[in-house]
Amino acid sequence: MSKTSIKITSEKLDLQACYDFVSDASCGGISAFVGTVRNDTKGKEVTQLDFSTYKPMALKEMQKIADLALGKFAIEKIAIHHAEGMLQIGDIPVIITASAKHRKAAFDACQFAIDTLKETVPIWKKEHFSDGQVWVNAHP
């Protein structure tokens, strides 16, 4: 049985599927991080977000994060799912779930996974405003 579930999809992300994947009789807790599309950036109204990916490399980098998390924290399983394509306000671009015997490892693994994903996984979002579009982070 695999301990990791990695996915990039243009379909709606499924929180229940991420929960069910990590659910395990040996575990005392499941932690989940759910990213959602916010309606503003620095006071400016966002209408939608367009996510593009370098899919084969992004999947490899997400797998690396999941494998690292399994090594670093006392978790049983971890799921990292990311959306691609156009998302509307309130939609879910990312879900991370982790299960562990004890809660701290599950919390820590989720935090590590989302922080690392934002630094290393080749996924880009373009913010759409009523008057234009901007690649996020393009000019750090």
Residues that bind another protein (CB under 8 A): 35, 51-54, 56-58, 60, 82, 93-94, 114, 117-126, 135-140
Longest CA–CA separation in the chain, Å: 52
Is the distance from CB of 30 to CB of 23 less than 8 angstroms?
yes
- Residues 124 and 121: their CA atoms lie apart, in Å, by 9
Alpha carbons 23 and 2: distance in angstroms, whole number: 13
Of 51, 29, 40, 26, nearest to 90 (Cα)? 40
Task: Report the distance separating Cα 48 and Cα 25, nearest Å.
Answer: 40
110: nearest Cα among 70, 83, 137: 70
Q: Please give the Cα distance from 44 to 53 (Å, whole number).
A: 25
